[in-house]
Amino acid sequence: MSEKSKLPKSKLAGAHVIESFVKTLPGSPGVYRMLGAKGDILYVGKAKNLKKRVTAYTQPSKHPIRIQRMIAQTETMEFALTHTEAEALLLEANLIKKLKPRYNILLRDDKSFPYILITGDHDFPQVLKHRGAKTRKGEYFGPFASGAAVNEAIETLHKVFLLRNCSDSIFSARTRPCLQYQIKRCTAPCVSKVTQEAYAKQVDMARQFLSGKSRKIQDVFAREMMAASERQEFETAAAYRDRIKALTHIQSHLVKGVDNADIHALYQQDGMTCIEVFFFRAGQNYGNRAYFPRHEKDETPEDILAAFIAQFYASRPVPKEILVNIPVSDKAMLEQALKTHILKPARGNKTALVEMAFKNAKDAYQRKRAIDASQTELLEGLAARLGLEAPPERVEVYDNSHIGGTHALGAMIVAGPEGFRKNAYRKFNMDRKDDANKITPGDDFAMMKAMLIRRFKSLTNDETAIRPDLLLIDGGAGQLKVALEALSDLGVSDIPVVAIAKGTEASGGGRNAGRERFFLPGREPFRLEPNDPVLYFLQRLRDEAHRFAITSHRARRTRAITSSPLDDIGGIGEKRKKALLLHFGSAKAVAEAGVADLQKVETISRAVAEKIYNFFHEQR
């Protein structure tokens, strides 16, 4: 009897599907995708020889149970040929990040890192914290592990190099120096306290500092301090002394032998993995962050770290060197694909840095284990208090925010055993045409109903849509009623819903001061004991939803206040918009201007003038 015939027919079905593709596959590099019955991506893999790699899946019994399960679920496959195996590795990493297949090792936390930007679109450059696409003209330095690390670095730049931190609009409107000038954190270029040439030298020194040349700058400051002292300009000499002290403090933290490198240290216990990443640029520690990749328990640490590194750099700049604490699978291929050097140091200063990163990984793992245990206990308590069948894996909390009905916005936050899932948060603009026609401005009940209908409409059309285990609504009996109506209208009846309302005595003492009342369908309103940890947990969930709704609403309102019709014209950037507004005085005057008048503005050519004119007149 053959190996295949020993397996159940259900497990052989997928193997037969895979076998049907093998006949037409070439023996060249590429990427393959295994898809399930509903078109869901089960697995993404790469291969130096596609035909040989895929053929291996036609013999399920030679694979672990997990892979046998994946093979059995395979209904079809897709392929992409590449020129080289390195190209296949990069494509695989990008597809895994995008598609998040069930059976792949997955980097779950994929937030972007902040950078420092020295702007290049102004005569007096500004130093900014930047996150996202690098579309603005200027020079970018980083990445930094957190916003706090960037803020600390920018504070140093202001203290040592006296660069401005104001926006371009504030810069152009100032008539006298601000507080930053008074406390010697800026040379006040906005009111011509420094020439453009002298300010350019400040910027150049900041650039050198971020490139690792702080010693050279310190020598320059020392000479300037001595010269000022000899001229008996003691206040100027003291200012240089303070700047030298700040540089000396920074230099004491520089790491020798590490210029442009990242450290990836893996710690694993009980089937869970933590990878701590440290960033070093120009000899300076730019911070660190812990990651907990998703993987099956039978994956090896070497494979996990290799997959993590490939995905981590799929959309990020790669350093010259990557230091690791364990060997990685496909090391040569990773180095070729990422154009970097991966090193597991055996001695010296780099070894000490890797050991430090490993210790941080172990500490982060232990903290997460403790937090997860606490969160699990709270979710078990929540299930007991609310009469749920099992502790919820996904709790969705809803709130809305508006001022007099304007800029109405709904917010959804998500929590689970691992805490808040911020990448799953969602905002709902409630003044869209299809919603605004149904909602009276300021009607919180109608807003809540419209928000829930938009959220759960997908459940009726898509069986694979994510379903929560519990809905928590900020409000009382009225909010609970409209929430149940919204779900009933969509035919959704199996999701528990709870409304949480502030106690009557809370009106004068903030959202947490009173005794919350809870409303469940078919049950009398009730309160939890004042010291019940589950009550505090529910308050945190409610307050996080409120915070997210308020901050999102404020951001939307600010954008609306500061927006201009000129923002919607393609090719009109900040510089041209500023020139137009300074020339005409208002956006309305720009809209009423003719082509000839528009051409009188600096940087506005005839083609651009016609574009602006056509924009406003076509709108009318």
The full set of domain ranges for the chain reads: 4-99, 120-251, 260-367, 395-560, 565-619
Six-digit token pair at 468?
Answer: 């929560």
Sign of the torsion angle spanned by Cα atoms 536, 537, 538, 539: positive
Query: Would you give the distance in Å from CA 530 to the centre of its chain?
Result: 36
Determine the 3-state secondary structure of 596 from DSSP: helix
| Count of Cβ atoms closer than 10 Å to residue 278 Cβ | 22
pLDDT at 359: 94
Q: Which helix (H) or strand (E) holds 397?
A: strand 395-403
Strand duo 426-429 + 497-501: pairing: unpaired
Six-digit token pair at 85?
Answer: 């195996």
Helix axes 85-99, 331-338, angle to 10 degrees: 80
Residues 6+ apart with CB under 8 A from 451: 398, 400, 410, 412, 428, 430
Distance CA 599, CA 584 (A): 12
What average pLDDT does the structure give for the chain?
Answer: 83
CA–CA distance from 596 to each of 578, 591, 614 (Å)? 19, 13, 13
Residue 285 has pLDDT above 80, yes or no: yes
Tell the burial category of 457 from Cβ atoms under 10 Å away from its Cβ (0-12, 13-18, 19+).
middle
Determine the 3-state secondary structure of 54 from DSSP: helix
Cα dihedral 271, 14, 467, 312, rounded to 10, equals 50
The model's pLDDT over 167-215, given as tens digits with 9 standing for 90+, comes to 888 888 888 888 888 888 888 999 989 899 989 988 888 888 877 776 7
Q: Which helix (H) or strand (E) holds 287?
A: strand 284-291
Amino acid at 546: H
Determine the 3-state secondary structure of 292 from DSSP: coil
- Which pTM value belongs to this model? 0.67
Question: For domain 395-560, which architecture applies?
Answer: 2-Layer Sandwich (3.30)
The 3-class secondary structure across 305-324, one letter per residue, is HHHHHHHHCCCCCCCCEEEE
In the DSSP assignment, the letter for residue 111 is P
Six-digit token pair at 583?
Answer: 């020339």
pLDDT at 273: 94
Which CATH number fits the domain 565-619, given the four candidates 3.40.50.150, 3.40.30.10, 3.40.630.30, 1.10.150.20? 1.10.150.20
CA–CA distance from 96 to each of 50, 53, 599 (Å)? 18, 18, 50
Residue 81 has pLDDT above 60, yes or no: yes
Residue 410 has pLDDT above 70, yes or no: yes
Average pLDDT over residues 527-554: 87
Average pLDDT over residues 397-413: 77
Q: How many CA atoms lie within 13 A of 452 on its CB side?
A: 31
Which CATH number fits the domain 4-99, given the four candidates 3.30.930.10, 3.40.1440.10, 1.10.3720.10, 2.70.150.10? 3.40.1440.10
The model's pLDDT over 26-52, given as tens digits with 9 standing for 90+, comes to 999 999 999 998 888 999 999 999 999
In the DSSP assignment, the letter for residue 112 is P
Asked if 133 and 118 count as a contact pair (C-beta separation under 8 A), the reply is no
Distance CA 140, CA 114 (A): 10
User: Where does the pLDDT of residue 483 fall: very low under 50, low under 70, confident under 90, or very high at 90 and above?
Assistant: very high
User: Where does the pLDDT of residue 327 fall: very low under 50, low under 70, confident under 90, or very high at 90 and above?
Assistant: very high
Residues 6+ apart with CB under 8 A from 512: 506, 539, 543
Strand duo 497-501 + 395-403: pairing: unpaired
Strand duo 321-324 + 341-343: pairing: parallel
User: Where does the pLDDT of residue 157 fall: very low under 50, low under 70, confident under 90, or very high at 90 and above?
Assistant: confident
Sign of the torsion angle spanned by Cα atoms 252, 257, 261, 266: negative
Asked if 116 and 140 count as a contact pair (C-beta separation under 8 A), the reply is yes
Asked if 240 and 221 count as a contact pair (C-beta separation under 8 A), the reply is yes
Question: For domain 260-367, which architecture applies?
Answer: 2-Layer Sandwich (3.30)
Strand duo 284-291 + 272-281: pairing: antiparallel
Match 């310190």 to its residue by tokens: 218
Strand duo 260-269 + 321-324: pairing: parallel
- 602 or 511: which leads in pLDDT: 602
The model's pLDDT over 437-481, given as tens digits with 9 standing for 90+, comes to 466 666 788 888 989 998 988 776 666 678 899 999 998 999 999
Residue 423 has pLDDT above 80, yes or no: yes
Domains 260-367 and 395-560 share a fold: yes
| Count of Cβ atoms closer than 10 Å to residue 171 Cβ | 17
- 531 or 397: which leads in pLDDT: 397
User: Where does the pLDDT of residue 1 fall: very low under 50, low under 70, confident under 90, or very high at 90 and above?
Assistant: very low
Q: Of 188, 186, 189, which Cα lies nearest the Cα of 206? A: 186
Strand duo 76-81 + 30-35: pairing: antiparallel
CB burial string 416-444: b at 16+ within 10 A, e below? beeebeeeebbbbebbeeebeeebeeebb
pLDDT at 554: 75
Distance CA 454, CA 410 (A): 11
pLDDT at 470: 95
